[in-house]
Amino acid sequence: MLKTRPPRLLFVARSCRWYATRPIHVDILGERHPTDEITNITPSILAKLPLRLHTRPKHPLHTLRTLIESHFPTFKHHSSLSPLVSPFKNFDELSFPKDHPGRAVTDSYYVNKDLMLRTHTSAHEVEVFRQGDDRWLLTADVYRRDEIDGSHYPVFHQMEGACIFPATPEGMRHVAEDNARMRSQLAKTNIVIEDVPHVAPTNPAQAGHDPAHSALVAEHLKLSLNGMLLALFGGATPLQVRWIEAYFPFTSPSFEVEVFYRGKWLEILGSGVVRQATLDTANVPDKIGWAFGLGLERIAMILYSIPDIRLFWSEDERFLSQFKENEITTFKPYSKYPSCFKDVSFWLPQGSALHDNDFCDLVRDVAGDIVEDVKKIDSFVHPKTNRASLCYRINYRSMDRSLSNEEANEMQAQVVSRLTELGVEIR
Ligand code: PHE
């Protein structure tokens, strides 16, 4: 980052502008990009872009990715697409409505109005289909602004999978044969599938699809993924899987899948029959098929018993040395160091608001992975002055060492000073 502009208006109603002084441009992965008034990408997020944990041998995210890939041996694998995409590609091309909340600057990271960090791997569907790949898996880092706790992190990894077929009688015959083969294989296993037949008028076959073709493709999706879930979660006891009606702008019908594991139903993935508009845009209008997307951290936390999502980013040998290539092992926590809570209360300028995600990004920028969680513990508006008061509790805890109270105080002082730069009045 080079030159900065002079300080500018800091708060506008309902959203906090990130930078007290906004850089004129940002350098990302070797290229320079201009900023504008919606720029909200932070240095701590930029630092994550080159890390690509899913490509590091032995890392749990890499092993999980490899296990899933080996379950789909005929699929092409992609894992090196740039995280920078246009909002058009992330949203519009996938039929997201103009007012979809995911587009908000409070929910997504923007370099400028024409460039953002992908919020999901589906952002690459059109380009991969356009290359002519009929069966593919794509693994990548994705970015979403979020609150801070043990299972949310603004960068995580997703895997997208898709399979399309010629929408012809032979194509469909092939799908039906494949379905029969997978069905008979699954019948020999101890998987228990709950799948209420879909009758919801909100989750229909698409208008342009032959309902029989759509049903065959949806069945191919379910059978393919049930086999994969069995490979990941299956064991001596029967594996319970349930398929639930869902909604995504770029699939219909759409489904979510949950797995019953160690006493809980866990949401594993989103999926559905690909919207024909996506395939038309990708220049394969005569195909029909399915896609799914899953979060790798979520699944790895369960399979490896990793208790905190920050651990995936640890460079500590006590973490990294535990893992083997291509083998899921149970994580042995090396220590739990004491945490240190600090509260900060402040008045916002009159008529302004601060989004929790803005506060969390500020804290992450100061404390990085030392922050374990952040909670808003109080908020009210003064009846006379109409100013809003907020109080947040920040829990500082290192995963690798004991944190001294002085260090926590030092970070807290930086949080306070950054808040002051933004124009709030500390209470
Ligand atoms: N992209 C969706 C998400 O991030 C998941 C998904 C992928 C759903 C493919 C349907 C098809 O939640």
Amino acid identity at 269: L
The mean pLDDT of 208-228, rounded to a whole number, is: 96
Q: Are residues 330 and 340 in the same domain?
A: no
Residue 381, class by beta-carbon neighbours within 10 Å (0-12 exposed, 13-18 middle, 19+ buried)?
A: exposed
Kindly report, residue by residue over 293-328, the tens digit of the pLDDT. Answer: 999 999 999 999 999 999 999 999 999 999 999 999
Taking each helix axis as running N to C, give the angle between helix 211-233 and helix 296-304, from 0 to 180 degrees, rounded to the nearest 10.
30
Q: CATH no. for residue 99?
A: 3.30.930.10
pLDDT per position as a tens digit, 229-276: 999 998 888 999 999 999 999 999 999 999 998 889 999 999 999 999
**Domain check: are 97 and 197 in the same one?**
yes
Q: Are residues 78 and 213 in the same domain?
A: yes
Give the ligand 1 atom nearest the CA of 158: 4
- Mark whether 327 and 346 lie in a shared domain: no
Question: Candidates 122, 163, 271, 296: which one to mutate for ligand 1, based on the most atoms within 8 Å of Cβ?
Answer: 122
Q: Would you say residue 224 lies in a domain?
A: yes
Does residue 355 share a domain with residue 322? no
Note whether 311 and 349 are same-domain residues. no
The residue whose C-alpha atom lies closest to atom 10 belonging to ligand 1 is 271
Do residues 273 and 370 share a domain?
A: no
Cα–Cα distance measured from residue 195 to residue 314, given in angstroms and rounded to the nearest whole number: 39
**Does ligand 1 come within 6 angstroms of the Cβ of 291?**
yes
Of 389, 299, 361, 365, nearest in space to 107 by CA: 361
Range of the domain at 294: 43-334
Same domain, 386 and 267: no
- The answer as to whether 17 is a domain residue is no
Please say whether the beta carbons of 281 and 93 come within 8 A: yes
- Determine the Cα–Cα distance for residues 43 and 50; give it in Å rounded to an integer: 13
Q: Is the CB of 272 under 6 A from ligand 1?
A: yes
DSSP 3-state percent helix, strand, coil across the chain (nearest 5)? 30, 30, 40
Residue 80 belongs to some domain of the structure: yes
Rounded to the nearest angstrom, the distance between the alpha carbon of 59 and the centre of ligand 1 is 24
Question: If pLDDT is split at 50, 70 and 90, which confidence band does 126 have?
Answer: very high
The tens digit of pLDDT for each residue in 396-420 reads: 999 999 999 999 999 999 999 999 9
Q: Positive or negative CA dihedral for 198, 179, 229, 161?
A: negative
Residue 423 lies inside a defined structural domain of this protein: yes
Q: Measure 402 CA to ligand 1 centroid, in angstroms.
A: 39
For the residues of 250-302, what is the DSSP string, one character each? TEEEEEEEEEEETTEEEEEEEEEEEPHHHHHHTT-TTEEEEEEEEEHHHHHHH
**8 within domain boundaries:** no
- Paired with 295 in beta bridges are 158
What lies within 8 Å, CB to CB, of 90 at 6+ separation is 108, 116, 118, 119, 120, 123
Cβ of 289 less than 6 Å from ligand 1:
no
- Percent of the chain at pLDDT > 90 equals 86
Question: Are 299 and 345 found together in one domain?
Answer: no
In a domain, 87, yes or no: yes
Average pLDDT, the chain: 92
The answer to whether residues 238 and 369 belong to one domain is no
Q: Is 38 a domain residue?
A: no
Boundary of a domain, candidates 296, 314, 334:
334
| Ligand 1 touching residue 252 (CB < 6 A) | no
Instruction: Please tell me if the CB atom of residue 292 comes closer than 6 angstroms to any atom of ligand 1.
Output: yes
**Helices 60-71 and 211-233 meet at what angle, rounded to 10?**
130
Protein residue with least CA distance to atom 12, ligand 1: 270
Domain boundary among 310, 334, 358: 334
CATH number of the domain within which 363 lies = 3.30.70.380
17 near 37, Cβ under 8 Å? yes
Q: Based on the fold, state whether residues 253 and 266 are members of the same structural domain.
A: yes
Residues 195 and 293 in one domain: yes
Instruction: List pLDDT tens digits, range 329-388.
Output: 999 998 889 999 999 999 999 888 899 999 999 999 999 999 999 999 999 999 998 899
Total number of domains constituting the chain: 2
Q: What is the pLDDT of residue 15?
A: 40
Residue 35 lies inside a defined structural domain of this protein = no
Domain boundary among 311, 334, 357: 334
Cβ(421)–Cβ(362) under 8 Å? no
Ligand 1 contact, 293 CB (< 6 A)? yes
Give 399's contacts (C-beta < 8 A, 6+ positions apart). 308, 310, 311, 314, 316, 319, 337, 369
Going from the C-alpha of 159 to that of each of 127, 141, 417, the distances in angstroms are 16, 9, 39
Look at residue 185 and tell me whether its pLDDT is greater than 80. yes
